[in-house]
Amino acid sequence: MPSSEQERLAVIYQSFKDAFARRAKDLKDAQTAAQANAILKNVHDLELAYLTAAKQALDKNGPAIEAAYDKAVAAKTAVDEAYAAAKSLAKRIGLVGDLAGQLGELVRKASGKP
Angle CA(34)–CA(93)–CA(11) in degrees, nearest 5?
A: 135
Task: Give the model's pLDDT for residue 74.
Answer: 98
Say if residues 51 and 105 touch (Cβ distance below 8 Å).
no
In DSSP notation, 27-83 reads: HHH--SHHHHHHHHHHHHHHHHHHHHHHHS-----SHHHHHHHHHHHHHHHHHHHHH
Q: What is the pLDDT of residues 10-68, one digit of tens each?
A: 999 999 999 999 999 999 999 999 999 999 999 999 999 999 998 887 888 899 999 99
Q: What is the pLDDT of residues 32-45, one digit of tens each?
A: 999 999 999 999 99
Domain that holds residue 80: 5-110
Nearest to 35 by CA among 103, 101, 97: 97
Task: Give the model's pLDDT for residue 50.
Answer: 95
Number of domains in the chain: 1
